[in-house]
């Protein structure tokens, strides 16, 4: 195993994905690629709009890319000492297609990504990148479950009023 792609979405699954992919990369002496795919900027040219008519969408896209790049660098810092050859990559595409294309391009041996466990209805309505990767996988794909959010601490009982 030479190349492992850790596809991250900055959700509560990301830490588990990084830990698992990092452990495997270290064990196999593989190069680790941290990948985030951001949805492409929407275009409405079919409706007669030009990008100049909705500049706020472009500004939003640029800010999203800037923030994603920053978060990728933060993740890189968490593994850089153990895996100095780790690289980060930010793509604009649909997440599923972006990951699949990147895996082909890099000849990756393994993809590690997270699953959110939103449930059947959300998966039917919105789709699931993890499910899509399992269905269309061209290399072994490891799905890491998301860490459930910690329950809120119970409130302290109110003191009796004298």
Please state, rounded to an integer, the average pLDDT across all residues of the chain: 83
Give me the domains of the chain, ranges plus CATH numbers: 3-145 (3.40.50.620)
Distance CA 84, CA 20 (A): 16
What confidence score (pLDDT) does residue 142 get? 92
What confidence score (pLDDT) does residue 123 get? 45
pLDDT at 125 over 50: no
Name residues whose C-beta falls within 8 Å of residue 66's C-beta, 6 or more positions apart in sequence.
Answer: none
- The tens digit of pLDDT for each residue in 19-75 reads 999 999 999 999 999 999 998 877 666 666 666 777 777 788 889 999 999 999 999
Q: Phi-psi bin for 126: left (phi > 0), alpha (psi -120 to 50), beta?
A: alpha
State the pLDDT confidence band at 136, using cuts at 50, 70 and 90.
confident
- Percentage above 90 pLDDT, the chain: 52
Distance CA 123, CA 55 (A): 32
Task: Name the residue among 36, 34, 52 with its Cα closest to residue 44.
Answer: 52
What confidence score (pLDDT) does residue 135 get? 82
- The tens digit of pLDDT for each residue in 137-154 reads 889 999 898 776 555 555
Q: Other CB atoms closer than 10 Å to residue 59's CB: what's the count? A: 10
Please compute the mean of the pLDDT values over residues 130-143 and round it to a whole number. Answer: 86
């Amino acid at each position: 195993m030479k190349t492992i792609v850790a596809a991250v979405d900055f959700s509560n699954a990301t830490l588990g994905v990084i830990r698992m992919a990092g452990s495997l990369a270290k064990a196999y002496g593989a190069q680790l690629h941290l990948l985030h795919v951001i949805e492409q900027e929407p275009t409405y040219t079919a409706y007669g709009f030009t990008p100049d008519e909705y500049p706020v969408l472009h500004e939003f896209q640029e800010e999203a890319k800037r923030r994603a790049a920053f978060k990728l660098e933060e993740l890189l810092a968490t593994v850089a000492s153990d895996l100095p050859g780790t690289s980060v990559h930010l793509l604009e595409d649909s997440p599923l297609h972006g990951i699949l294309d990147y895996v082909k391009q890099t000849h990756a041996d393994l993809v590690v990504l997270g699953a959110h466990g939103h449930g059947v209805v959300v998966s039917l309505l919105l789709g699931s990148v993890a499910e899509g990767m399992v269905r269309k996988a061209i290399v072994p794909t490891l799905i890491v479950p998301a860490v459930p959010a910690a329950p809120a601490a119970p409130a302290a009982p109110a003191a009796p009023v004298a």
